[in-house]
């Protein structure tokens, strides 16, 4: 009779029964590869939400962007992911990305001018008994235009990562806000240049509103979005931006140099123009990120600097309007009878 030899390496014909203590020890202290020791539990209730939040907050590099999100090749990182969700766009306000500064600069600016809307009537508009609804309308035209421009800008930069359609739509809103600010800035200047000549005042106000409307049409109408109409779109913006020159020359020819300088508050308007020009030049040249790509991805790139110059220019303009109002209701109003 042949006996089967049992060696240590041979597997037993029948598995041995494990006692309860051994089984419990294996469950409590399983042998796992080191690479798996730090993984999250698959059945954790918080895992899907946490994973989704991490994905949402994962900023992208320039090379990872879809074509419709590419604008400035010198900003190499910090881009939000396309969200296709307004809720996720607004949730991006809670973490840092390369649009954070663009949003916050104009959001703070809009809130600042909104505060002026509620506080200015308690002081400035009660200084002179000759102030009437014309002055109130004139001043608030500029304040509301500033709030609208900066508010639309902040909104655009918030939702620009939504989708191509939303990006294009709110980009047009951003341009409309610029038109609002230009038109609203011209209203008080025209009103105080021709304070004693209502017909001339109405003529130039009608002119600026017409040019503003034409510019809005070229921005929003699909027909004018074609490349063939690019020169027309540029021409309308240039005409709108230069629309204050002709009335100023007319004012000088009618009333002389001293009157025009005071009615326009030329020193403040030079500050306005200087800030706009410097800010636009920095924005167009994409400085400083052009010189040090990647260093200014999150803070102090050209678009943020441009926003800051726009706010400074708007403050200069507000101060100029306030001084023009005060001059008009002191020395200027006496000239109406001359």
Is residue 297 within 8 Å of residue 77, measured between CB atoms? Answer: yes
Question: Is 307 within any annotated ligand binding site?
Answer: yes
* Contact (Cβ atoms closer than 8 angstroms) between residue 154 and residue 111: no
Peptide bond before 288: cis, by omega within 30 degrees of 0?
A: yes
| 303 is known to lie in a ligand binding site | yes
- Tell me the HSE value of 264 on the side-chain side, using a 13 A CA sphere: 24
Tokens of 226: 């074609």
Determine contact, residues 264/251, Cβ cutoff 8 Å. Answer: yes
Is residue 86 within 8 Å of 159, Cβ to Cβ?
yes
Of 184, 183, 192, nearest to 264 (Cα)? 192
Which two structure tokens, joined as six digits, stand for 88?
Answer: 């996720």
DSSP 8-state assignment for residue 300: S
- The answer to the question of whether 97 is labelled as a binding residue is no
In DSSP terms, which residues pair with 79 in a beta bridge?
60
- Contact of 256 with 338, CB cutoff 8 Å: no
Phi, psi of 204 (to 5 degrees): -75, -30
| Binding residue positions | 157, 303, 307
| Binding residue positions for Zn(2+) | 157, 303, 307
């Amino acid at each position: 009779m042949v006996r089967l030899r049992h060696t240590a390496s041979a597997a037993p014909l029948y598995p041995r029964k494990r006692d309860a203590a051994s089984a419990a020890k294996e469950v409590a202290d399983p042998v796992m590869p080191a690479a798996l020791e730090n993984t999250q539990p698959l059945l954790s209730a918080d895992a899907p939400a946490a994973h989704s939040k991490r994905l949402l907050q994962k900023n992208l590099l320039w090379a990872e962007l879809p074509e419709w999100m590419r604008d400035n090749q010198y900003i190499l990182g910090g881009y939000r992911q396309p969200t296709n969700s307004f809720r996720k766009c607004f949730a991006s306000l809670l973490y840092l990305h390369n649009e954070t500064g663009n949003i916050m600069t104009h959001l703070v600016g809009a809130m600042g001018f909104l505060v002026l809307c509620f506080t200015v009537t308690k002081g400035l508009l009660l200084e002179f008994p000759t102030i009437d609804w014309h002055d109130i309308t004139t001043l608030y035209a500029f304040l509301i235009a500033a709030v609208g421009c900066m508010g639309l800008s902040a909104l655009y930069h918030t939702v620009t990562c939504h989708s191509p359609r939303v990006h294009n739509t709110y980009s047009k809103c951003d341009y409309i806000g610029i038109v609002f600010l230009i038109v609203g800035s011209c209203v008080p200047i025209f009103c105080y240049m021709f304070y004693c000549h209502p017909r001339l005042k109405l003529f130039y106000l009608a002119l600026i509103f017409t040019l503003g409307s034409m510019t809005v049409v070229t921005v929003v109408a699909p027909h004018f979005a074609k490349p063939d109409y690019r020169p027309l779109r540029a021409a309308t913006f240039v005409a709108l931006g230069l629309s204050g020159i002709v009335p100023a020359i007319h004012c000088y020819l009618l009333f002389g140099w001293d009157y025009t300088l005071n009615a326009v508050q030329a020193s403040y308007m030079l500050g306005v123009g200087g800030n706009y020009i410097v800010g636009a030049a920095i924005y167009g040249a994409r400085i400083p990120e052009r010189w040090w790509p990647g260093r200014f991805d999150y803070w102090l790139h050209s678009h943020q600097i441009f926003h800051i110059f726009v706010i400074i220019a708007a403050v200069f303009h507000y101060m100029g309007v306030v001084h023009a109002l005060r001059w008009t209701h002191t020395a200027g109003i006496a000239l109406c009878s001359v």
